[in-house]
Amino acid sequence: MPLTTPPRPHNLFEYLPELAEHSRLAVRLHPREGAPRTDESSVGGPLLWPADEPRPLCRLAHDPIGERPLAQALRLRFAKEDRRLFEARTGPFDQQRQEDAERELMLRIVQEAHPGFDPGDPVPLIPVAQLYYRDVPGLPWPDRYDLLQILWCPLNHTGSQTITPYCPAFQVRWRMAAEVEMQAAEAPQPVMCVEEYMPRPCVVRPELVTEFPNYDDLPEHLQEAVTDWEDRIGDGVDYGFDIALAPGWKAMGHGGCWSLYEPYPMVCECGAEQLPLLTAASGEFDSGTVSWQPIEEANAGWSLSDPVGVHLGRGNKFQLHYCPESEHHTNRTEIF
């Protein structure tokens, strides 16, 4: 079923026609829980993967904060043992000592279930998004590719020039689907994960929408014009939340609203400005963006506010950028 964003409260082009030159098309993915196949676009679904291509591993340094065993049975067992550990504690509470004891307990339980497990081993990456160009218009280099695949490591990372600290680390694959003659068997699963980084398998209902820059990215004279427009309208409509940036999971567009850092350009090592490729969000909408809920789901209430179940930071968005000069240049990420 196609999903349709309600019309925005106001048509900004009527009031500020100059904004048109700063607009971009974005594709709202509208992920919804389901059972996607390898020949379908998806979030958190299986990937069309060649049998002769090794599955990617993360070899970066990991921070154990937030790690838990992947298997449900192990998570339940850890919860029970962790509770006993907490109840057996005596004396003043020492948070660091408690965290160290929990990690030791977790590692012991995991090693019992997976003999030979070494927390320093490379970690299998998991599927985050598979986007066929037929579903998502505007993806880069359509003359060379018709399939974009994005994976990430479901553990925290200490950060680098291209990876945001304490968030998943991405890898990207660009493909021609017809060149995958024989598909790989089921993908390996990581033994450990940060549960909030494990997306539920979702089908997608892509929708093309127009986005405008975040307020802080506008030229100064347009910032003033937008502020004057909001004051003149006087109905409480907010440029950022209600007009400019679609919430939820999406491809391309302008992406996110800077809230944790002062805005800065995402620049490639070649000097080109990098552009948003995928925005992974902690939910589809919240109390400030509920006006973006699709028309077809107007009576669904909050039941579809978080179908993917991924939570980044403290309810933030995580954005992957690409260099328009070459798909071989390093991708960069930021959290909003």
Write out pLDDT tens, residues 88-141: 666 666 777 777 777 777 777 777 767 777 777 888 999 999 999 999 999 999
Same domain? For 192 and 206 the reply is: yes
How many other C-beta atoms are found inside a 10 Å radius of the C-beta of residue 150? Answer: 22
- Domain co-membership, 253 together with 165: yes
* More reliable by pLDDT, 91 or 226: 226
Cβ within 8 Å of residue 247, ≥6 positions away? 281, 283, 284, 285, 286, 289, 292
Q: Are residues 94 and 168 in the same domain?
A: no
Same domain, 126 and 109: no
In a domain, 6, yes or no: no
Same domain assignment for residues 109 and 154: no
Same domain, 187 and 272: yes
Q: Which residues of 156-192 are buried (b: 16+ CB within 10 A; e: fewer)?
A: bbeeeeebbebbbbbebbbbeeeebeeebeeeeebbb
Are 133 and 202 part of one and the same domain?
yes
DSSP 8-class letter at 102: H
Q: Token digits for 50?
A: 């060649």
Q: Smallest Cα–Cα separation from 31: which of 47, 22, 40, 42?
A: 42
Give the total number of structural domains in the chain.
Answer: 2
Q: Say whether both 86 and 173 belong to one domain.
A: no
**What's the average model confidence in pLDDT over 13-17?**
89
Q: Which of 263, 259, 266, 56 is nearest to 162 (CA)?
A: 266
- Does 1 reside within a domain? no
Domain assignment present for residue 2? The answer is no
Q: What is the mean pLDDT of residues 39-66?
A: 91
Calpha distance 300→307 (Å, rounded): 12
Do 206 and 136 lie in a common domain?
Answer: yes
Residue ranges making up the domain that contains 172: 12-61+121-335
Burial 298-315 (b: 16+ CB within 10 A, else e): eeeeeebbbbbbbbbeee
pTM: 0.86
The string of pLDDT tens digits covering residues 295-327 is 999 888 888 899 999 988 777 888 999 999 999
159: CATH: 2.30.320
Question: Is the same domain home to 101 and 161?
Answer: no
